[in-house]
Amino acid sequence: MLDLWFQQNFGSNRKFKFQIVYVNGSNNLPNIQQVGDDWKVRLIEEDFMRLMWDMDDM
């Protein structure tokens, strides 16, 4: 379902530029990237846990 939504909303529409796509759970978005796409897929949970416990900036 996520693949279909992503392709319908961003597949051929290049007016949106983004570097990171945050998703919740497993996905295969990297498999639908087109030539020239430079965005990365990141899991919300992984970044949340890393940032929550990162004490370097305190």
Q: What is the pLDDT of residues 7-46, one digit of tens each?
A: 787 766 666 678 898 999 888 888 888 888 888 999 999 9
pLDDT of residue 14: 60
C-alpha count within 13 angstroms, C-beta hemisphere, residue 54: 8
Helix segments in 1-58, DSSP class H? 2-6, 44-52
Tell whether the torsion through CA atoms of 31, 48, 10 and 39 is positive or negative. negative
Spatial distance between the Cα atoms of 24 and 45, rounded to a whole number of angstroms = 7
Residue 53: which pLDDT band, with cuts at 50, 70 and 90? confident
Q: Which residues pair with 20 in a beta bridge?
A: 40
- On whether the CB atoms of residues 47 and 29 are closer than 8 A, the answer is no
